[in-house]
Each structure stands twice: as C-alpha cells, then as structure tokens.
Structure 1
C-alpha cells in the first residue's frame, strides 16, 4: 500500500512521456557476464534493462482488468469498439462506434448477467464445476471456464473484458479446429457456458447431442446476435439438451437489473487457456496464461511499438489466437479504437481498411505475400502500362536503397518525389494512415518485408512469439536495415540457446551461437492445462521454457535473433546426411517468390529429397509469361501447364538456382508435386498459424511421395 495513490491521469501522463522507448535503446541484446554453462550459450537480455526483467508497463497495472480500468478513466469519451452495419441491400456502411465509458458499462452488465444466468439455471447440478458458478467463490478456488466461439466482432472483445473484470477464465473455439477438437476442449475444460454467434448454436447443439455425458456440464449458450421469435425453435432444441439459450441483449439487461461489482483478478489469476493447434495431430495442449503474462506483454508492446496517440487498429486475425489477443489487449490498454471485420471472410480486408483507415496492421505472412503479389501486378510487373511500371520501379528501388543504408536504421528516410508517388499508391489501397505493419506466427521472406516497407513507405517489424509467451517476446526494429531477424529479446524476457550437436548447432558456432531457444520471464505461461507430463517436459529445473525452435544469435548485428529451424524436424538420408526440412522450406520460400507453400520430405532409404509445392496464384502466371511467353490466368490451367514434365523440371531447376550457395546439394529438391494450395487448415495439414503437421502430411501425400520417388530425380534426367 502506497502512502500517496497516483491518479490514473498521472499514470497515463507518465506513460505517454516515457513510452514508446527510443528504438535505438531497445534494438540489441547483450550477453550477461559469466552466464554461459556447458552445453548452453550465455544468457541474453535486452540492452535497455540488462540488470532486471520488466514485468509491467507501470506499477499497479499488473492485470488486464487494471490496464483497461486505467484506460477507461483516461479515454472515456473516445472510440473503443467499432463495426460496420449491414444495410438492406446486403452491403456494409461506415464504421459505427461505442466509446470506452459505454463498453465498460456493457462489460459490467454482461458479467453480472452471466452470473445471474448460471446461478439461476434450471439445469445446474451438484457437480464440482457447477459448484464454482457462484459469484461469491471461496478464495483459492479456480473459476469455471467460459468459452467464446465466433469470428472477430465487438461482442468477442466484450466477452473477454467481462471475463477479465469478474475473474472468469476463458477459452475459445474456432471453425478450423473441427468438431472433434471442439468437443475435446469443451470436455476437458468442463465449460458450462458458451458465448457465440448465432450460426454456431446448431454446431453446439450437435456436439451436445452426440456427447451428452461428456458435455453434461454445458448448460448455457448466449447468442451474440439478437434472437427473434423465429429462433424459438433453437431455444426449444437447447432445452431438449439441458441448456438454456439467451442473447446478449437479454443477458446485459439481466445484469443491469441485478448488478454485481467487478471481482478483480490478481496477477496470478488465469486469464485464458489458449489451445495450440499442434503439429502432430494429437489433441491440442491448453496453454494457461495468467493476467501477469498479459500485463508483461503490454509492457513489451509499449516498449517497441511506435504509433500515434488515439491510434486505430483493425482486428483481422482470429481472436482465438494469441497474436490477435495480444494486439487488442494493447490497443485497449492505450485507448486506441479497434475496428472489426464485416464478417468471417478474410476477403473483406482491403474493403474494410478503406473505411477504417487504421494506423496499425498485425497480419501473417500469407496475407502479406498476397498483398505483395497484388501490388507488384499493378506496379513493377505491370507490362500493360510500361510508363507506370517504369515510374514505380524507380520509386520502389530508390526507396529500398535508402532504407538499406546503415545510417537510416530506425528511421524512414524521405525522398522529395518518390514519397509522393508511393503515398498515392498507399492511399489508393486503403492504407493511407498505416505507420506500422507487424508480422509473426510463421516465417516470411526478407524480400517481402523490404518490398512492402518501401512500397507502402512505412515501418515493418517481424516478431517472434508463441501461445506460451502470450504472443510476441521479441520484435525487430520497424526500419531494420537487414530485414530477416526477429530483433533482440524483449525487456520482459531473457533467453539462451541449448546445444544441438546432432543437428550441427552449438553455442560455439562460427558467426554466433546456434541452438534450441530457451525463454524465461513474466510473459511465459504457467503450464499446460490438466497436463502435468507435458508441462514437466517443457521446463527445466531452473524455469527455462524449451521452445522447440532453433535460433541463431548474431553478434555482428547487435545479438539479434533469427529463427532458423525446429528441433524435432530433422531426419537422415540413406547416405548418412542429416536434413532439417523447415530450414530448407524457409530458404526456398524466401528466395523463390512464385511459391507460397512447401512441404519437404525425405526418407532414410532414399538419397534425395522430394516436395509438395504450393504455387502463388498471382505471380506464377507472370513466371509462365516471362519464361514461355504464354498468357495463362486460370490457376487450374497453370498447374496443368507446369506439371508437364519439361516445364516441371525447368521450374525445379529455377527453384534450385534461386537457393544456390544457401543449400548444400543434398538439401535441394529433386522432384516435386505442384498445386495451387496443397496445404490447408481444412485438410488438417497445417495449423491456423501455418505450421506444417508433418506426420499427417506424410500420410496424406503418401501415394504422391511414393510416385515422386519412383520417377526419380528429374533434375538429373534431361529426358524427363
């Protein structure tokens, strides 16, 4: 307890004066003296705070609840959550907003209404889970777990805020999980209530009907959409499955009539359980993230993200994933306005941003590569308009050259003419206000970063993080000269590398230590939900979390960190050579812009590698036109054309030429299968964050892989 309590206004004024930090002060990592042990690198911390890890953005702001409360007081009348209203003709209008004061009141009403519905529920039983549904929960008892199930919308964020204010732990379902995983999550969490969009109600009814005993604790559904008289049949169906069905409007009204004050969490209270989709095909692991992890993540974001006051965010990536949760938590803590998509389809991105005009965009590589291909087709590859092509080629090349100069690190160098040209393009796309682009969750080509950073005349930062670290725990400078690193370790986290001699990575490697990345700090999760075995395997006796990612720390570049491989992803070829497919895939993807997906496969009884290649549907037509002077636009026709033996061989030779000097001969592909999008979440071959499920891919493509090996090496067979 402090003798003098600081006002929220004073806290915010102090934060605004001090943050974000000068990017030069946080740009590098430092090795702690005398911290190296046998089999490990030194311990690294951010140069800004080598003596201690920073846990919160400001003393006392140590939970998501405290961060939002402080933000409401300082931003009460500012836009908070916004959405586009659907018009009678089916189109969507401009964004409409509710301010921070209104959202706080709705949060309290929703939280109070949730408790009223659960405590007065006719299907409540004497199970241990249902005994924890009371508002006056005994100290020390864990909360019940509330489930959220919808695409991104204001009601999703409102549900999250209500859970935070009333110390309710939440989790999320999402469509790409599939019914089996959805059933597993509802079962293992014993969740008694789901807040969802209306179209998900039937999905939940089917799950409950097929798994009555397993989901017996599920007794309430709250629809984010208004229920009408026409929906009475849904309410009857829910009653037949021992569930009640109400909507947000009813729930908030019940909470308004029966108000309960917030039940503030502690830093150790579990905020959320985020289920990782995993790459093995087994049931996902539930990552338990306490409020202190969220607060530390906001501190990380504050220290790195350069943006204007009263910024506008666009919530595009699924809120069920921690990357987007992290972005929105930070936005709401800083008083930013958050606009949501018009619906679940990702195809509305550019239309929405033209209306929203956001300052910050947090996206993933697959979105950026599509944006890159679209811009190139209208500019540097626009053969139909040679004057326009020449102008943009000069402008973009000059901007890339300026941004690559060492003296321009951490700033965006200006050009009196070409900035105007590029800003007109940027505005036309709908990104006129964007000052910051961020990427994470999967590898991205450094060339894509350089191109978009120059073309859009804006900052572009690449981060690294996991569900287990509440998203990002390191991020590059927005104007890093040598694009490709994930920046230094953040002020909230320390790291070191573990030697992997069997993979050829050690802490004594020439050019800087390489090995498995280990993390420790307040952002790191507390364990896997109801899974002590996996938790024990993930931490050592000193509290280091074993990420499974292989990193390189480059002392020549400020000890910045590069993710280069995965620990478990290696195998031996027949001649005895060890191969790490993820590194090979990333190298091809970064150097050959006409492909967007790659699954590399090897076998201990084979001497060469084969692969499944996903072609970029936009740029591959340009490759065909420049190589063969053929104009083919339909994706199916392009695949057919390139699968012709001679064309496929030439494509593979060009792929291999692009990685010359970066991959050894035995690491290059010798035969490939081509398609537009062979790997998809719907096929259960990749995770929603684009990580390859290798065992499942190997099984799914078994006949194709066998055929490729039977055909043999096409790069050695000129007659093929």
Structure 2
C-alpha cells in the first residue's frame, strides 16, 4: 500500500473535466437472459448514489467482495466501504471456497443472489431429510432445531445483516433464512443496473417514478384483484443514458417519456396503513410459450421445485414444439448417495443414472407440483440428470451467480430436443395423465387396471386426441389387459379402434340377460345399523366423497371394506388416504374404520381367493 501511495504522489495526472451528462463509467448487466450489456452511467446519475455511501456506522464496516466489479452491487459496496473508513476482503474467485472465505473475512453485512441461498437451503433440506428417515415424529422437531443451529454457523457472528438481491427468491428459502440466521436482519433488495435501487424490503424508494403496464399474454393486468399486477416501468435520478454501441436495444427498453421497461412483473400490495409494497412475482423476459399456447414462467417453477431434497440446482425448459416443460436437475450428491444405498443400486454411474433414480426424482417433483396445484403442463414430463453443477466457470451461471438461460438452453440443446416418436410421446402423455412414471422397461405397463379412475381415463382420452389426433374411447382404455405397447399399436393403426370400441356393447347386452340363479337364504336384519359396508371406487373423485359421507353417517363401530385396484407393491390404504387428503376430506381416525382390500371388479370373485371371497360375502 505504501508503494501505491508513493507512486500516486510522484505520478501526476492532469485534471479531466467532465460535464453532468458525460459518460463517467460503464456498468454491465448480468447477462442472465442474453449477452451482457454495458449501461452508460453519466456523471450526474453516478453522483446521485453518493448519499448512500456516507451512511454512519456504529462499528467498523467490513465487506466481502466476491463478484465482478463490472457489476453495480460489489462496485458500490467497495467504494462505500472505503469512503466510510472500512475494510474489504476480496475473494480468490474460487466459488467452491466461497463459504470458507466468507468465514475468514467475517463481514459485518453480506449480500448474495438467490442461487447462493438456494445452495445453503438445498444442503439443509438434504441433511434434514436424512435425519427424518431415522427419527420418530416426536424427535424430528428437536433435530431440526439442532440442524438449524449448526447451519447458522455458516454466517460469521459479527455479520448482522443479510440481503437477497439480483433476482426473486423462493418464499421457502426466505423463510429458512429467517429461521436459521435469526441473529441477522434479513433484507430483500430490488435494484436494476439501468436504474439503481428501486425498492428495499418491498418499500419503493421515495425518489423514483414508476407505473405498471398490463401483460395480458401472461394473465397479469393492472385491474387484477385484490392487487394490480403488471410490468413495472421506472424513471429514477440514477437512470443510465443507454447501452454502449447498442442503440437498437436502448430504443427497445426506453419509452418516449423516458421510462425504463424493467421486464419484471410486480404486484402492488396496499396494507392497512395505506403503504404500498412492491413485490416482484415474475419475469417477463424469461417466460416462454408451449405448443398448446400456454405461457410458462420458468423462474416461478424453479422456485417451487427447489424444495425437493433431490434438487441442488434446476433449470426448467420449454419451447413451441413441447406440450409441457422439461427439467434439468443437478442432484444433491449426499441425498442421491443415500438413495443409492437404500435401494441397493450397485455400480451406480453418474454419467448414466439408474432409471429408478430418474423415476424417484420425477415422482418427487410431481408430488410437489400436486401440493402446489400446478397445471399439468407445468409438471416436468422429461428429466435430464447432470451431476456437473452450473457455475460461472462453465458459463451456466453468470458472474453474479444467476442462471444463464440462453447458455443453459444451448448446452442441453441436443438432450432437450422434443420427443417425436409416438411411443415416447404417448408414454409422456400417460405419465402426465396418471401422475405416475413408467420406466423404460415397462412396455407391458397396464393402464387403467393399475388403479387409475374414470377421471384419469377421461383426461387421458382427451390428451391423446389433442396431442396425437386419435380419438380413443373410454371403453378401450378400460380394457383390463390394455398396456402401453397395445395402446401404441392402436394409435399407429386407428382402424383397429372401431371394432374394439363396440366390443363392450354385446358384453353389456349379454350381462343384462344373464341368469344369475341366486338362491336367497335367510334375510339379514336391516333395521339395525350395519357393522360392515362394502364399497368400491374410493380412489376416485365420487368414491372419495361417498366414503367420507358414509363415515360421518354411520357409527364408529361400522367398518368399511374398500376394494382397491392397484399393483401388488402399492399399499391400497395409502392410495385411499392420499386421494382423500388431496380433496381435503381425510381424518386420521379413518384409519381404524377403513379396511383396504386389493382386488379387481372385472375379475371373478374380484380377483380374491375363494376363502377371502366367501368370508367377505358372509360379512356383508
């Protein structure tokens, strides 16, 4: 430092005069949606940031700089720390040592994009999932608190302020931060390279002007209730003058009256005191359109699917040739390793993951999607597993640690190509309709006979017609022996369907004329409340509500034998419970009254043994 000061004393430079509107510096955008653009900042605009740099601190300010100084965040932080007499520690640039370097520097405040907090949250989820697998419900809460305390040590003790910036953070991640780092104030900052700071902790900066414009193609309008939503346009005293050597892009983002089109979708919420809060809810620049005309917000979906313990990083992809989204997942290695050991997946190859792992991840993503009531095209139908993480070094993250979408799309282009064969497209449709995965070796996978219901069959029939242009009647789908391979052959040769569709008619006529030859013995006393009731269809919509109603009407001593059509490895009670939980009508005391029975109405004696059937007949 002494040499630098001496050199500066000896080497004299002439003063350079600059006018208020002259270019003083250039600050670059992150490049998350395209090539980074250089924003021209005038002397007057830069001067407007000065008041933020001279904040009074009760303790020495210590900062940690780990992002490029070509970006606004760390450049302003370094200058502000210097001007207040503080100290700044600089990262080596090795992202794998970020948390180690953070501990060494021990800053008094730390700001990071969602990708950093997502990483910490992913590690916490994995550790918590592994703990929960070996503890009872009673001890899980205690173990979770212990784990939160361990993770809180990632942030140095003298750090009293944590800030999330540069992109929208998942509510789950934000809630985790507040619980884990309770000794710090958790802040959300919303700023734009071209405009400076816009809002802090949802409160709009007092010096900016803004307005909303409706984005009807994404179903966001300024007339939405209870709060207006749309793209926010801003005008600030820190506005850039344009993009260097890029007049076309400059004209595209600036309105005639000087407002900047941010590309961010916000919701303006008004509290009881009349205070307006600005919440970023979506990103206009990253959304895309699918083949059926649906618009998708990938960032919204990524923030939901990051909850999966399997997921370390995720990229949601789609295009005009796709019926639904696809996902690229960088798995959490610790959780995958535990899964491999639990399922005895010997010779596990990270370059060619076992189909069971793919199936488990897809099932977990679909479970999360169901809990969040996502639409069917928002649920990944295809999955790419890549154990190589997204990093700034391989270009899949920007230098500000945001996903670089155009590079991710190019990197996985060959593997993300749309499915073109009828076999593959039909497999995807069935998985989406039935909400269950079909492994590659399951060509003999039975469709409706595996426990799906009439609503699933209706949905499947419509999806096949919409996507493949072939009308498949319900009667064909309900064929007991209908498999994926048989259905594929029928769609390739639709002429076979007409004869099959009518095959149920003679069967129904025959059934109507069938002489059952039933001998009625001693009649049962029906004046008393039944002790056992036999019911079918409880994994469907109508059956679930019928069962719930019967459970209310009849006394607690009455049991319900529920015939469930499902695979041998599936617990029939789990299917009943999960279905009723989905419709929010399940109660835990139903366990004692519901007797699940695996069987099939289409088979003789419901597919039961003679002894079981006779015993059932004598009880009902």
Measured after TM superposition, the shift of residue 539 of structure 1 is 1.0
Output one character per residue of 1:436-489: Cα deviation in whole Å (capped at 9) or x when no partner.
Answer: 11122233222222223322221121222232134x43221xxxxxxxxxx122
Contact 1:469–1:525 (8 Å) recurs in 2: yes
Q: Answer yes or no: is 1:649 the counterpart of 2:335.
A: no
After TM superposition, the structure 1 = structure 2 runs for residues 169-318 of structure 1, keeping only pairs within 5 Å, are: 253=7, 255-260=8-13, 268-279=21-32, 282=35, 284-297=36-49, 299=51, 308-318=58-68
The structure 2 residue matched to 1:488, chosen from 203, 220, 226, is 203
Taking a change above 3 Å as real, the CA distance of residues 334 and 531 of structure 1, as seen in their structure-2 partners, is same
Contact 1:597–1:677 (8 Å) recurs in 2: no
Which sits farther off after the overlay, 554-563 or 510-519? 554-563
Contact 2:106–2:159 (8 Å) recurs in 1: yes
1 CA distance for matches of 2:386 and 2:295?
Answer: 28
Larger Rg: 2
- 2:313 — aligned with what? 597
2 CA distance for matches of 1:263 and 1:629?
Answer: 69
2 CA distance for matches of 1:374 and 1:546?
Answer: 36
Contact 1:297–1:473 (8 Å) recurs in 2: no
Contact 2:362–2:437 (8 Å) recurs in 1: no
The structure 2 residue matched to 1:521, chosen from 214, 218, 236, is 236
Measured after TM superposition, the shift of residue 347 of structure 1 is 3.3
Taking a change above 3 Å as real, the CA distance of residues 330 and 392 of structure 1, as seen in their structure-2 partners, is farther
2 CA distance for matches of 1:264 and 1:309?
Answer: 36
Q: Answer yes or no: is 1:671 the counterpart of 2:382.
A: yes
Contact 1:380–1:393 (8 Å) recurs in 2: no
Measured after TM superposition, the shift of residue 699 of structure 1 is 3.9
Structure 1: where are the runs of 5+ without partners?
A: 1-97, 110-251, 398-421, 477-486
After TM superposition, the structure 1 = structure 2 runs for residues 437-456 of structure 1, keeping only pairs within 5 Å, are: 437-456=162-181
- 1:576 — aligned with what? 293
The structure 2 residue matched to 1:473, chosen from 198, 203, 214, is 198
TM-score relative to the length of structure 2 = 0.60
Taking a change above 3 Å as real, the CA distance of residues 266 and 455 of structure 1, as seen in their structure-2 partners, is farther
2 CA distance for matches of 1:593 and 1:350?
Answer: 21
- 1:324 — aligned with what? 74
- 2:473 — aligned with what? none
2 CA distance for matches of 1:425 and 1:704?
Answer: 36
1 CA distance for matches of 2:313 and 2:325?
Answer: 16
After TM superposition, the structure 1 = structure 2 runs for residues 598-637 of structure 1, keeping only pairs within 5 Å, are: 598-621=314-337, 624=339, 629=342, 637=348
The structure 2 residue matched to 1:586, chosen from 296, 300, 303, is 303
2 CA distance for matches of 1:534 and 1:394?
Answer: 50
- 2:468 — aligned with what? none
Measured after TM superposition, the shift of residue 299 of structure 1 is 4.0
- 1:363 — aligned with what? 112
Measured after TM superposition, the shift of residue 667 of structure 1 is 1.8
1 CA distance for matches of 2:57 and 2:374?
Answer: 39
2 CA distance for matches of 1:368 and 1:509?
Answer: 31
Classify the secondary structure of the residue corresponding to 1:702.
coil
- 1:217 — aligned with what? none
Classify the secondary structure of the residue corresponding to 2:25.
strand
Taking a change above 3 Å as real, the CA distance of residues 383 and 638 of structure 1, as seen in their structure-2 partners, is farther
Measured after TM superposition, the shift of residue 569 of structure 1 is 3.4
Contact 2:126–2:310 (8 Å) recurs in 1: no
Contact 2:212–2:232 (8 Å) recurs in 1: yes
Report how many aligned residue pairs link the two structures: 425
Taking a change above 3 Å as real, the CA distance of residues 366 and 619 of structure 1, as seen in their structure-2 partners, is farther
Measured after TM superposition, the shift of residue 535 of structure 1 is 1.7
2 CA distance for matches of 1:320 and 1:680?
Answer: 18
Measured after TM superposition, the shift of residue 302 of structure 1 is 7.3
Measured after TM superposition, the shift of residue 323 of structure 1 is 1.6
2 CA distance for matches of 1:448 and 1:678?
Answer: 19
Classify the secondary structure of the residue corresponding to 1:549.
strand
- 2:399 — aligned with what? 688
- 2:533 — aligned with what? none
- 1:349 — aligned with what? 98
Classify the secondary structure of the residue corresponding to 2:111.
strand
Taking a change above 3 Å as real, the CA distance of residues 681 and 390 of structure 1, as seen in their structure-2 partners, is same
1 CA distance for matches of 2:357 and 2:134?
Answer: 28
Classify the secondary structure of the residue corresponding to 1:512.
coil
Which sits farther off after the overlay, 564-573 or 494-503? 564-573
Contact 1:507–1:514 (8 Å) recurs in 2: yes
Which one has more relative contact order, counting CA pairs under 8 Å at least 6 apart? 1
Taking a change above 3 Å as real, the CA distance of residues 681 and 502 of structure 1, as seen in their structure-2 partners, is same
Measured after TM superposition, the shift of residue 266 of structure 1 is 5.8
Taking a change above 3 Å as real, the CA distance of residues 602 and 383 of structure 1, as seen in their structure-2 partners, is closer
Contact 1:610–1:708 (8 Å) recurs in 2: no
2 CA distance for matches of 1:373 and 1:349?
Answer: 16
TM-score relative to the length of structure 1 = 0.52
